[in-house]
Amino acid sequence: MRVNAELILRMRKDKAWSQEELAIAAGLNLRTIQRIEKEATASLQSMKALASAFAVNIRDLEQEESAMLSELVGKEVWIVMGITVIDPRFNDSLKGKIVEINDSWLKLVQKDKSIYINLSQIKRIVPE
């Protein structure tokens, strides 16, 4: 799950905790805390543990997808669709520039060709 790593870092610093102290308070591994703060992803169990340690609602720790997506407009990205196929020659990823994002889709431009992609079908977006 995507988490608001900036918020987690800010709450940790507000409590004057080191990463190791947060790991102890949340009952998590130090490496898990380091990964969460660096990659902004966490399992549901880790998010529950962090929410408990900070005495906040788990929803408060979630990253707002719309804010993250809007930062990608105008950037070159790889989009992984995560489609399960039997044929290993099939490539389910696309590369291009995001030029527009709506509530349910985004517009990707590959050379001079526009592709509209439903956001619910995207597994991962990797900025170039």
Fold of 66-127: SH3 type barrels. (2.30.30)
Which CATH code, of 1.10.3720.10, 3.40.50.150, 3.20.20.70, 1.10.260.40, is assigned to 5-63?
Answer: 1.10.260.40
pLDDT of residue 85: 61
> What is the pTM for the complete model shown?
0.54
For residue 123, give the amino acid letter: K
What mean pLDDT, rounded, does the chain reach? 87
Q: What is the pLDDT of residues 72-124, one digit of tens each?
A: 899 999 888 866 666 666 777 889 999 998 877 899 999 889 999 888 778 78
pLDDT of residue 20: 97
pLDDT at 38 over 70: yes
Q: How confident is the model at residue 126 (pLDDT cuts 50, 70, 90)?
A: confident
Residue 113: phi and psi, rounded to 5, are: -105, 130
pLDDT of residue 81: 81
Q: List Cα–Cα distances, 34 to 30, 47, 49, 96, 112, in angstroms.
A: 6, 14, 15, 31, 41
Region 12-26 average pLDDT: 97
pLDDT at 22 over 70: yes
Q: Would you list the domain boundaries of the chain? A: 5-63, 66-127
